[in-house]
Amino acid sequence: MTVTTRFAPSPTGRLHVGNIRTALHNWMWAKKHGGRFLLRIDDTDAERSAEANVTAIRDDLAWLGLGWDGEARQSERFALYEERFAVLKAAGRVYPAYETAQELDLKRKVLLGRGLPPVYDRGALKLSDAERTAFDAEGRQPHWRFRLDHDTLIVWQDLIRGEQRFDPKLLSDPVIRRADGSWLYMLPSAIDDVEMGITHVVRGEDHVSNTAAQLQMFAALGAEAPQFAHEALLTGSEGKLSKRLGSLGVDHFREVGIEPVTLIAKLARIGTSDPVEAVTDPQPLIDSFDFAHFGRAPARFDEAELAQLNARIVHQLDYAVVADRLPAGMDEAAWVAVRPNLETVVQAADWWAVVEGPIAASDIGDEDRTYLVEAARAAAQIDWSADPWHALTGALKETTGRKGKPLFLPLRRALTGRDHGPDMAALLPLIGRDRALARLAAAA
């Protein structure tokens, strides 16, 4: 059996962090087992689906490095759904229901008012042929429901949640088709999972009751069901379900300078017993990915922690990985010099501007100005071909008696205009003799 997973977004908007996590875990599971990861665009809702969102979904997955092995679109598979629908209809597993939305809402309110679960009462199955004919005659179009088998307990072994048991009598027969003939999520998804050979479905725990109904759909279609893994939902840093998580997408993370591998490193381990690690290659995360490590408590997503992780990863990135994003003229030596002081790759441009100048003057006291006069004289005499920073500070320590902060800080301020930054031993050769002499003289 070839492990086959799928990511099935609806193109009604951009991907958010929850979607990205679902895509990632499906991708990782397939990659771990040498299987296939498929992209399925669930665009049965023609009114809300937009082609721009389809393009954005592909672009977002590509930016993350989540390549897919095949793609399908539900809008191109309607003939298949009609064929399977006809089979289920002939077997009595789907049936027309004529209640309006207002009538259904009233039924739910009555049940809730009695302290009962708002389960559909199957009123449509009690209609006589004459009543159906009358509805048809007045132009009322039915929606269609899948008829659950009330005599068979629904049981499955979830890869995260363990054994799951549902009494179908406590579930409403799911609506699978609207009165206008358009499809809802449940049945087309099950049909596609069968036809595409999906072996594992990884999704949020909010789909658990959907899975219970879909397992009966798989059986009615004469097909073996995939294995399911239902993950705990993400929460915000405040520990509650956050609306903000629904607005955090790839475009946001790119804008604030988060690396794709940072997002992968965070989302690969969030909600598991494994520590989040600052890796630059996702392969170790793939190798260790295991649903047995997932907990059932909500998984906490904290942007501040993500930013900290990003800095740790940026500090490890090789020049070849970032070269095409660096300012013109910035070579490997410059990248290695500034890398430890970066939180995002784009910040390298700030330090390259410090190297190339001009720099803003820093507040320097009179005592330090005298010191910098001596520094300019010493800088003109040292050997710049080896280690100019230690040659300069060594000479000044000997001639001025300064050491520690009084020795180093005035030099850093004069040469960079800042109090903190990369190791001056690495930065000074990049600034170079001529610019350094000019800056020391100007500061003095």
Binding residues: 243
Binding residues for ATP: 243
Cβ-Cβ contacts under 8 Å for 49 (sequence gap 6 or more): 10, 11, 12, 43, 75
Instruction: List the 36-41 sheet strands across, edge first.
Output: 4-7, 36-41, 70-73
Q: How far apart are CA 234 and CA 242, in angstroms?
A: 8
Q: Record the tokens describing residue 128, joined without a space.
A: 């006589």
User: How far is Cα 302 from Cα 317, in angstroms, rounded to an integer?
Assistant: 23
CB 253 within 8 A of CB 301: no
